[in-house]
Structure 1
């Protein structure tokens, strides 16, 4: 009876160690979206837009190495155009648009750090490094939610606190 239990315990211990992933992969991809079936992912194949022949050859744009192709899909721009907006406002490198100047000026009235994204990424990496010791599980779980669980807000607690303070609040769906 005892050798059989030891064999089972050893097998369980070995299988628990077998699915450990590389920590550099875990740190760069908090949201782990996998295709466990090993089959092709049908949403990763996007057909290009149809080719269009210009009226004259002088209308052809000059080629830009590493730039975008006229037949590449642009779902965000297409959605903005369908909703009546200006898709050109989504272009990167166009600076701050005229419609956003006031909000950027208000948000940066006390100064702003030009490297805020890099600073936040470094702080986030340091936070996850400190929590790495406790970030292992036998059953795979969403790493992002587990790491930041202690920083999540309680929406119903906040709603009740606002109501107790006399703030007019909209109705909310019932708690589950």
Structure 2
């Protein structure tokens, strides 16, 4: 009654129809160039509470576009929260900087890393159908470089090291 070609064609049409009904609700987390002009949630900072200054003479002169005493300064706030002094370094931070720079600094490190990453992703760009249908293979490309945190945790525990803040493995029942 039906030919094999007719059945194959009807099956293909049904398969495409079912596949087109699906939706991709996953956010495009790796799309760093957003195409919409929506609000930037990181540009809104809460202001500090209003306080009466110790002396009104110490208030800065108001300037259009200038800073205000109640304006947030996340960098300075983080330094203060960690016990440092904003705007100034300490002997510890100088020692840390010298230690970090002990092997020198490569001036064009960003360009070098960008080129190496691009070369790696081109060499690991997925199979033919993944490229054809533009499937993201980012995590698969870097899978060999990822750290298995639970295996590393077990390695440290086997070596006798304490790991009190380590969460339990969710994959073990």
Q: TM-score scaled by structure 1?
A: 0.52
How far the C-alpha of 1:80 sits from its partner, in A, is 4.1
Deviations 1:6-61 (A, max 9, x none): 32345578x5xxx9xxxxxx9xx8356979xx8955736637969xxx97xx9467
Q: Highest Rg: 1 or 2?
A: 2
How far the C-alpha of 1:101 sits from its partner, in A, is 2.2
How far the C-alpha of 1:109 sits from its partner, in A, is 2.5
Deviations 1:66-101 (A, max 9, x none): xx8536764343444566643436xxxxxx875422
Aligned CA-pair RMSD: 4.8
SS in 1 for 2:147: coil
The residue that corresponds to 1:174 in the other structure is 168
The residue that corresponds to 2:30 in the other structure is 30
SS in 2 for 1:43: coil
Please list, as runs of the form range in 1=range in 2, the aligned pairs for 1:122-161 lying within 5 A after superposition.
Answer: 122-134=115-127, 136=131, 144-161=138-155
**Number of aligned residues:** 146
Unpaired runs of at least 5, structure 1:
20-25, 90-95
Unpaired runs of at least 5, structure 2:
1-5, 49-55
The residue that corresponds to 2:112 in the other structure is 119
How far the C-alpha of 1:123 sits from its partner, in A, is 0.8
Q: TM-score scaled by structure 2?
A: 0.53
How far the C-alpha of 1:104 sits from its partner, in A, is 2.4
